[in-house]
C-alpha cells in the first residue's frame, strides 16, 4: 500500500512522505491490534490484547501500555501488515520509552517481511529500528537479523547508542536501500549493515516488502535477563511507550529500486495487480513468450517498469535517463554523461562509447548502472 506523495524531507537527500500516522486517532485502517498469548515469543511474559487499556490515544499520541493484570501481564502489539508495507525507504518514529528497575520492559519499533519468501524467521529477515530493555536503561539498539546473522546463533548485526534519558522524546529511524540498512537516533547515524554485493538471501533478504511493528514486551530472554528469576514489577500504573508520530519516506527518484539502481535485483521483487502477484523477472520473462506477446527482452523490461514503477522501475531505466545524474569520487563530482564523454577523449583514455559506459557503470553502480545494460 502506498500513500499519495506529499511533503518532502531534505537532509541532503530529497524524499517524499508516502505514509504517516500523527495519531489524532487510533486508525484501525492503518494498524492491526494483535491478540497473542503469553510466552509466544522469546519467553516474553505478556499476552497481547486489542483492549483500549493496552493501546489508546492520549493528547494526540499513541500509548502502548504494559500492565500487571490478575496473575499475568498484558500489553499491545500493533502492525501494518497487509495494510501498508514497503521495499526500501526511511522509517521514522518519535517516541519516548519506559524505564524502571526490575520492570523487565522491552519496547520495540521494528519491521518484519509481509511474506516469508525465504522461509520462516530469521531467513526472510528482520529490521529493528529501535529496541530498548530496562535492564540497560540508557541504551537503544538498531539491529538486523537474517538466516546467516541472527541472535539465535550469536551472529546478529547491530549497534547500540547511549542516550541521556530515553524517557524524553527521540526520533528513531532506519534508512533502508538496496545495498544497506542504517540506524539513526535524532539524525545521528550509529549503525550500518551493508549488502556488499551478495545475492545470498541468507545474508541479504532485504529485497521484499516489510511492514511496521510497535510493541512493548515484558520479561523474556532479553527484557528479563537481569531479573534473576524475579517477576517483572510494572508498578500499579504500568509502563508506557508513547509514540508521537510514525512517518515513512521514499526517494523522489527510483534509484533505490533493485541492486544499486539496476534491474538485477528488482528481478526478484514482487509486484501485484488485479491479475495476481509475481516477480518483476517472472513478468518480464512471460512477456517474451508467445502467450505474453513475444516482446523483446528490452521491450518487456520497459513495459514492466511502466506497469510497476515503484517495484520494477529500474528495469526500464536507460543510460539516457541517468545521463545527468551526479556521481562523486575523490576527484570530484560530475554527471554520468560527462564522465562517459571524458573517457572517450584522449585525456580520458580514448575508450569506445560502449567501454566508457561500462566503466562508469562499474565506478558508480548506485547512480550510473543503467549505462551498462
Question: pLDDT digit string (tens) for 313-327?
Answer: 778 877 887 787 777
Residue 62's contacts (CB-CB under 8 Å, 6 or more residues apart) are 21, 23, 26, 55, 56, 78, 214, 242, 243
Residue 261 has pLDDT above 70, yes or no: no
Q: Is it the case that residue 330 has pLDDT exceeding 90?
A: no
Arch. (CATH architecture) of 8-251:
Sandwich (2.60)
Average pLDDT for residues 284-312, to the nearest whole number? Answer: 86
**Mean pLDDT confidence for 319-341:** 80
Q: State the pLDDT at residue 178.
A: 83
Lowest-pLDDT range of 81-90, 211-220, 270-279: 270-279
Tell whether omega for the bond before 122 is within 30 degrees of 0, i.e. cis.
Answer: yes
126 given a catalytic annotation: yes
- Over residues 124-138, the mean pLDDT reads 97
Q: Is 299 a catalytic residue?
A: no
Per-domain residue ranges for the chain?
8-251, 254-317, 318-373
**What number of residues does the chain have?**
373
Answer whether residue 361 shows pLDDT above 80: yes
From the candidates 44, 85, 92, 131, give the one annotated as an active-site residue.
131
CB-based contact 190:159 (threshold 8 Å): yes
Q: What is the mean pLDDT of the chain?
A: 88
127-131 contacts, C-beta under 8 A, 24 or more apart: 127/174, 127/176, 127/181, 127/206, 127/210, 128/158, 129/91, 129/93, 129/172, 129/173, 129/174, 129/183, 130/93, 130/95, 130/172, 130/185, 131/106, 131/107
Is the pLDDT at 239 greater than 50? The verdict is: yes
Q: How far is CA 278 from CA 125, 262, 308, 364, in A?
A: 20, 18, 11, 30
**pLDDT-based confidence at residue 84 (cuts at 50, 70, 90):** very high
Helix, strand, coil shares, percent, the chain, to 5: 20, 35, 45
Residue 36 has pLDDT above 70, yes or no: yes
Percent of the chain residues past pLDDT 90, beyond the cut = 64
257 pLDDT higher than 50: no
Of these ranges, 2-6, 127-131, 193-197, 283-287, the one predicted with the greatest mean pLDDT is: 127-131
User: Which of the pair, 137 or 253, is modelled with greater confidence?
Assistant: 137
* Least confident stretch, 196-210, 263-277, 295-309: 263-277
pLDDT digits (tens, 9 = 90+) for 172-186: 999 998 889 999 999
- Single out the catalytic residue among 44, 126, 250, 264: 126
> For residue 258, what pLDDT is reported?
41
Average pLDDT over residues 230-234: 95
**pLDDT, position 204:** 94
**What local confidence, expressed as pLDDT, does residue 253 receive?**
53
Per-residue CA distances from 148 to 122, 154, 209, 211 (Å)? 8, 10, 20, 21
pLDDT of 13 higher than 90: no
Please answer whether residues 305 and 316 qualify as being in contact, where contact means their C-beta atoms are separated by less than 8 angstroms. Answer: yes
10 Å CB burial of residue 130 (0-12, 13-18, 19+) is buried
Looking at the predicted structure, is the pLDDT value of residue 262 above 90?
A: no
Distance, CA of 200 to CA of 156 (rounded, Å): 16
> Which pLDDT belongs to residue 11?
52
Amino acid at each position: 500500500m502506498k500513500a499519495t506523495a506529499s511533503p518532502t524531507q531534505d537532509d541532503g537527500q530529497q524524499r517524499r512522505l508516502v505514509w504517516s500516522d500523527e495519531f489524532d486517532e487510533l486508525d484501525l485502517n492503518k494498524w492491526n491490534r494483535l491478540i497473542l498469548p503469553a510466552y509466544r515469543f522469546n519467553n516474553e511474559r505478556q499476552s497481547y490484547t486489542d483492549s483500549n487499556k493496552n493501546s489508546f490515544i492520549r493528547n494526540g499520541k499513541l500509548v502502548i501500555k504494559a500492565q500487571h493484570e490478575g496473575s499475568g501481564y498484558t500489553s499491545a502489539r500493533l502492525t501494518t501488515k497487509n495494510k501498508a508495507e514497503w521495499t526500501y525507504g526511511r522509517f521514522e518514529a518519535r517516541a519516548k520509552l519506559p524505564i524502571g528497575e526490575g520492570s523487565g520492559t522491552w519496547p520495540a519499533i521494528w519491521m518484519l517481511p509481509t511474506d516469508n519468501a525465504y522461509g520462516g524467521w530469521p531467513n526472510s529477515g528482520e529490521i529493528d529500528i529501535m529496541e530498548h530493555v530496562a535492564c540497560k536503561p540508557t541504551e537503544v539498539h538498531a539491529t538486523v537479523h537474517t538466516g546467516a546473522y541472527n541472535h539465535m546463533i550469536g551472529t546478529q548485526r547491530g549497534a547500540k547508542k547511549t542516550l541521556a534519558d530515553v524517557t524524553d522524546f527521540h526520533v528513531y529511524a532506519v534508512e533502508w536501500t538496496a545495498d544497506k540498512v542504517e540506524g539513526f537516533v535524532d539524525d545521528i547515524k550509529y549503525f550500518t549493515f551493508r549488502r556488499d554485493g551478495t545475492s545470498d538471501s541468507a545474508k541479504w533478504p532485504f529485497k521484499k516488502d516489510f511492514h511496521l511493528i510497535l510493541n512493548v514486551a515484558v520479561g523474556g530472554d532479553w527484557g528479563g535477563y537481569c531479573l534473576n528469576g524475579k517477576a517483572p514489577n510494572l508498578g500499579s500504573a504500568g509502563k508506557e511507550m508513547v509514540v508521537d508520530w510514525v512517518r515513512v519516506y521514499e526517494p523522489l527518484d527510483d534509484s533505490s529500486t533493485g541492486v544499486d539502481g539496476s534491474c538485477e535485483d528488482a528481478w526478484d521483487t514482487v509486484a501485484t495487480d488485479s491479475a495476481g502477484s509475481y516477480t518483476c523477472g517472472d513478468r518480464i520473462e512471460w512477456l517474451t513468450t508467445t502467450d505474453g506477446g513475444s516482446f523483446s527482452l528490452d521491450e518487456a523490461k520497459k513495459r514492466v517498469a511502466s506497469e510497476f514503477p515503484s517495484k520494477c522501475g529500474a528495469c526500464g531505466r536507460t543510460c539516457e535517463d541517468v545521463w545527468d545524474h551526479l556521481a562523486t569520487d575523490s576527484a570530484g563530482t560530475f554527471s554520468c554523461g560527462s564522465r562517459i564523454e571524458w573517457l572517450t577523449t584522449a585525456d580520458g583514455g580514448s575508450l569506445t562509447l560502449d567501454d566508457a559506459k561500462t566503466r562508469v557503470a562499474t565506478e558508480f553502480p548506485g547512480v550510473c548502472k543503467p549505462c551498462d545494460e
